[in-house]
Chains A and B, each alone.
Chain A
Amino acid sequence: MKLPMVGVTIAVLLSIAMALVSAQGAGPRRYVAPRTPDGHPDLQGVWQVRNTAHWDLQHHAGSYKTPAGLGVVVDPADGTIPYQPAALAKKNENFKTRETDDPYEKCYLAGVPRTMYLPLPFQIFQTSTEVAIVSEYVHTWRWIPLTPLPRYPGYESWMGDPRGRWDGDTLVVETVGFNDQTWLDHAGNFHSDALKVTERFTRTAEDVITYEATMEDPKVFTRPWTIRMPIYRHRDLDRILENECYLYAEEVGKPIRGQHPEP
């Protein structure tokens, strides 16, 4: 009775060993994301980055109230945002006044792609026809239709007018319709109202979305450029809470005022 059992055990061990060898031979095994009922990768959950892109997209040493960090610009390969000369001068001016002029300091809507790498969580919801990205920061949502929907012409907004589609296992979101009021980070990196952002969301591990965003803006940049970063799933949060930035400012007696028009 014992001999066959030993034989079975050896056979099982052998097959496991062979599977391991063949997996190694084929390179790292490709992660297969869980699926929604309609068969697309399931991106739903509570997510947040763990980097310093919010403070500066480019390589930067630490400074007052700013953590040091490696840049997230992957194209151009040197990690430098390809500004036109006049735009670079404006970026450098922005940097000097960032403590007051960063729209985030005024609790304004953070724009795209910055909303995706704020130091605050967001939650993704999916159906077969639409995706919603709902952020804690000043109760913001991005609604992304996956079906054809003509855009309203001449639309200008803080968060843009997104359209989504699946490219294999990657959710691709193209957004236009921006104003020129948001910054891309606290370091003063900026864009104009001609900005087009193409984002790619790929779930590459159980707790990781690999996030890419390509910025095109012929008024500001010499060519398109791309950032890439992992976004991590919260295992210990089953709901997002809230970050009512401008109400908190009022509560401590520091209300944020807009420019009052001259009489």
Chain B
Amino acid sequence: MQTLPRFLLTFVLLLPLAASAQTPIARPAQSGGCPTESIAFHACAVAKARTFTPPRTADGKPDFQGYWRSRNNGIAYDVEPGEGSFAVPPTGGEIIDPPDKKIPYQPWALAKRNELRTKSFEDPQGHCAPSGAPRKNNTLFGWRLMQPRGFVVFLYESMHDYRIIPTDGRPHLPASIKLWHGDPVGHWEGNTLVVDYRNLNGKHWFDMSGNFQTENIHVVERYTMFDPDTILFEATIEDATMYTRPWTLAFSLERNKEVGYYQLEYACHEGERDLQHFTGDTGRGQSQQFKTEEQK
């Protein structure tokens, strides 16, 4: 009696898979009325922002509140354009400067990146680490944005992570304290929220492809609404110890307008069942980053 319905259910569940196997995943080529290729997107969004008037909060700041998710051309996997590899799909990249869309590494840093690229088990995100800046906006999950007076607060679904951004221009923490979350301090420049990130601990990667950081990293993020449901996100990254020059990425943040939506819990560490593979217990992977000095 149960066989037939179960068979039917399986068939119905598999239908979308069968369809998607034949057709590439369709990505709308537009976001907020702009093309999604990074350099063209940036130029278009900047032009639209010049004439767009955002809604305002009670204290007169642009109102970004609500649910958002990024449209990022696969940047969660690789910030550079790539043909894809094991567990990494082909990516379009999101770098807008330099125009070749490559991170301007110094030779030693490029060599290290290429080595890390083969060791995705060392990606801190795989260890449920907070993703830092700007990666937190690269995730495949969304976030809730709140604007209590004097702050912009991001509550991320992914790993129940958050960013608290004071917009009172307070001084940064002393340079000697390094945090997974860094120390973001924001201010408004016209309709743009500018967030200055210091005190990052340098253990983050930008993506799943080994693009690592050092603790000298300085990130400036810019959020500009250019359409009622779309924000231009830009991040400029500086680190004279590993790059030949600063570089900038940009992509689109889109409003999630699903009625009745709210974020469910994304517990990460609690469900951990595979750390032995990250830390070398099985011999299948040896994570340098998370080994003690003696183990190294």
Binding site for B on A (CB under 8 A): 36-37, 44, 107-109, 123, 125-127, 130, 132, 134, 138-141, 143, 145, 149-150, 152, 155, 157-159, 181, 238-242, 244, 246-247, 250-253, 255-261
Contact = CB atoms under 8 A, between A and B. Distances in A.
B147 interface: yes
A155 B264 CA distance: 9
B269 A242 contact: no
Contacts of A123: 164
A127 B275 contact: no
Contacts of A252: 292
A196 to B, nearest CB: 17
B130 A239 contact: no
Given A143-B262, A247-B127, 19 more contacts: A36-B149, A44-B148, A123-B164, A132-B155, A139-B159, A150-B260, A155-B264, A159-B160, A239-B173, A239-B183, A242-B130, A242-B181, A247-B180, A250-B279, A251-B290, A255-B275, A255-B279, A256-B269, A261-B273
Contacts of A130: 146
Contact of B129 (A36, A44, A247): A247
Given A159-B265, A240-B164, A258-B271, A139 B181 contact: yes
Nearest to B150: A44
Contacts of A246: 127-128, 269
Given A149-B262, A247-B129, A127 B148 contact: yes
B263 A143 contact: yes
Contacts of B148: 44, 125-127
Interface residues of B, number: 49
B295 A253 contact: yes
Contact of B162 (A141, A251, A253, A257): A141
Nearest to A126: B148
Contacts of A159: 160, 265
B164 A260 contact: no
B276 interface: yes
A145 B65 CA distance: 13
A164 B184 CA distance: 29
Contacts, number: 115
B97 interface: no
Contacts of B146: 125, 127, 130, 132
A212 B149 CA distance: 27
Nearest to A245: B269
A34 B272 CA distance: 43
Q: Which 9 A-B pairs have the closest CB atoms?
A: A253-B292, A157-B265, A250-B290, A258-B272, A125-B148, A258-B273, A246-B269, A257-B275, A141-B155
A259 B272 CA distance: 8
A81 to B, nearest CB: 25
B39 interface: no
A123 B290 CA distance: 30
B50 interface: no
A134 B162 contact: yes
A152 B164 CA distance: 27
A123 to B, nearest CB: 7
Nearest to B130: A139
Interface string B150-174: 0101010001111010100010010
B291 A253 contact: yes
A85 to B, nearest CB: 30
Best-surrounded residue of A126, A130, A159 (most CB of chain B within 10 A): A130
Nearest to A181: B270
Nearest to A124: B148
A158 B181 CA distance: 22
Contact of A37 (B149, B161, B269, B275): B149
Contacts of B274: 258, 260
A44 B179 CA distance: 23
A96 B234 CA distance: 53
Contacts of A109: 160, 267, 270
B272 A257 contact: yes
Given A107-B269, A139-B181, A258-B272, A152 B162 contact: no
B162 A139 contact: yes
Contact of A244 (B149, B160, B180, B270): B180
Contacts of A44: 148
15 contacts: A125-B151, A126-B148, A132-B155, A134-B153, A138-B269, A139-B180, A145-B262, A239-B166, A239-B173, A246-B269, A252-B292, A256-B269, A257-B275, A259-B273, A260-B273
